[in-house]
Amino acid sequence: MKQYLLLAASAFLLQGCQTSKEDIKEQPLKMIEQIDFSHVKINDNFWSPRLSKHVSATLPVCIDQIENQTGRIRNFENAAKGEGEHSGIFFDDSDVYKALEGMAYSLINNPDPELEKKADEWIDKFAAAQQPDGYINTFYTLTGLDKRWTNMDKHEMYCAGHMIEAGVAYYQATGKRKLLDVCIRMTDHMMSQFGPGKRHWVPGHEEIELALVKLYQTTQEQKYLDFAYWLLEERGHGHGTMGDEGKWDPVYYQDIVPVRRLTDISGHAVRCMYLYCGMADVAALKNDTGYIAAIDRLWDDVVHRNMYITGGIGSSRDNEGFTEDYDLPNLDAYCETCASVGMVLWNQRMNQLTGDSKYIDVLERSLYNGALAGISLGGDRFFYVNPLESKGDHHRQEWYGCACCPSQLSRFLPSIGNYIYASSDDALWVNLYIGNTGQIRIGETDILLTQETDYPWDGSVKLTISTSQPLEKEIRLRIPNWCKTYDLSINGKRINVSEEKGYAVIKDWKSQDVIALDMDMPVEIVAADPHVKENFGKRAIQRGPLVYCMEEIDNPEYFDQIQLSPSTTFQTAFVSDILNGIKTIKTNGRAQSATFIPYYAWDNRKAGKMRVWIPYNE
């Protein structure tokens, strides 16, 4: 099995993180609901520039690649005509759908008639490419419809799932349901082929399962939730085959045992993340504690034995996933950007089911390090693979033949507001510290949330909550696992509160109160779990939620000789004129001094070596 890498002495991040299955079963499923990003306007010095770049650079790059540099949109045009060749990879339709989802999310908080017009043009092409029976997939339409639904690894349901997510997002953004109706027809087609009393089917790449839940929530058609559940239950019974092209590997495809019996993560990392998200969604709606117990076991396996310090997962480039426990190479790490995004999606669901902050701790780690490193500061270049060491030859690219990561980031970045706040019957939950204004309505009460902070550079947060009438809810502020000491005050008066599952619980408050949370944010030296042979005799540096690395450009003379030791001291300073403004860490000690930058920011300047784990001289 596989145990984790990161934690300082395994205790730093994960101490006290074991979850009791009995505890989970005793709680109502999905006790917490996210506050949707459409109600949250982000305005801070860290995230606002990134969201601006998403509009000005990331989406234009994706649109240009899809329309002009590759054949992705042309595949839909050819499919509509019923003639011409299919270009690219058989799952390229999914990149178009993910980019459209990103366009929809952008339109929610940044209305743009031209962008909406572009989206409508694409949707017209999708609708024209749909077959009379509801089927839509340009690869099989152009290479032979007689071969459809014969190979479970050809991503037909994967592409359909991303189309459904885009269709739901665009409907929510604009009220237009043309794409949603295309999605419904495709789903009804799939259900005419597969289900109880029909053909067996195991999607080779999970994604359809969580998408069907979104379709159910949008249409309130129970059959879509039931179909998602049926697809999950198909796994592990020997139904998976790959046609004539190769041997089906049950481990790689998470098809070795029924999903409720899973204990260890295996195979392809991104597929695992989508599977676990689908299981969490279905479990919450069907009250399936067996699924909850399974993903609880899997979380322990992922985080304690298979996760990098950056929150990235997937150590092997051979299978884009996992080998054995504690196998966490640095130079050859895979850590696909999509998998880090998947960690954010999954851990939010786990938090909603349990109210435990440890899941947001991992979400935050993956967000600020594993996922954010996947895109350049300019918003126009991307990492597919995110190693923790480089000899100077690993760089972001404008696009990839397999472009799942650029399109993934195009839909993920504008939705980060989803992870800041949540609500339950008895509490408002503050999970992430990002400057923003949130406007929500709970029952008959209008609530205005205003958060001011210079996070992640500084641990001070001010939260003002204004309500139209008294609100009988606690305020639960997450105390990140990196935070060892903090002060909490209301209107300048220090208060003492209890903590529950990593949240400071404020019970006595009133409208217009200013809640101040001041968290100490020292530099920490982190040791890997001793089972991780790759990091024996090494240490990493982190500060707050950010993992730091050393780049050759900042340490040109002694890069390969720099060491840390117990006597090393650190100085932090905000430097505004490099990397869009960062807080650097400089070391002093018996060895040569060194400069460290946040891991997410590496490879944005001159090419050179990089490393996260530094030799440690005890």
Residues classed as catalytic? 320, 404
DSSP string, 522-591: -EEEEPPPTT-GGGTTEEEEEETTEEEEEETTTSTTTTTT--B-TT-EEEEEEETTSTTSEEEEEEESSS
> What are residue 268's DSSP bridge partners?
321
Q: Which two tokens stand for residue 515?
A: 């809640």
Contact 228, 213 (CB under 8 A): yes
Query: How far apart are alpha carbons 212 and 570 in whole angstroms?
Result: 50
Query: How far apart are alpha carbons 569 and 585 in whole angstroms?
Result: 10
Collect all residues with Cβ–Cβ distance below 8 Å to 439 and sequence separation of at least 6: 39, 41, 446, 447, 448, 449
Q: Which two tokens stand for residue 371?
A: 């996922």
Q: Which two tokens stand for residue 203?
A: 């999607």
Q: What is the DSSP letter of 259?
A: G
Residue 505: CB atoms within 10 Å: 15
DSSP string, 41-65: EE--TTHHHHHHHIIIIIHHHHHHI
DSSP string, 101-133: HHHHHHHHHS--HHHHHHHHHHHHHHHHH--TT
Query: How far apart are alpha carbons 74 and 515 in whole angstroms?
Result: 53
Collect all residues with Cβ–Cβ distance below 8 Å to 535 and sequence separation of at least 6: 5, 328, 330, 527, 528, 613
E-strand stretches of 330-444: 389-390, 421-423, 427-430, 436-442
Strands 460-467 and 514-519, by their bridges, are: antiparallel
Contact 210, 281 (CB under 8 A): yes
CA proximity to 521, closest of 572, 595, 470, 596: 572
E-strand stretches of 378-519: 389-390, 421-423, 427-430, 436-442, 445-453, 460-467, 474-478, 486-490, 493-494, 498-500, 503-506, 514-519
Q: Which two tokens stand for residue 9?
A: 């002495």
Q: 């609500």: which residue's tokens?
A: 423
Contact 65, 378 (CB under 8 A): no
H helix or E strand, kind and range, residue 34: strand 33-34
How far is CA 382 from each of CA 42, 377, 409, rounded to the nearest angstrom?
23, 10, 9
CA proximity to 471, closest of 489, 492, 445: 445
Q: Which two tokens stand for residue 383?
A: 């990492």
Query: How far apart are alpha carbons 341 and 270 in whole angstroms?
Result: 9
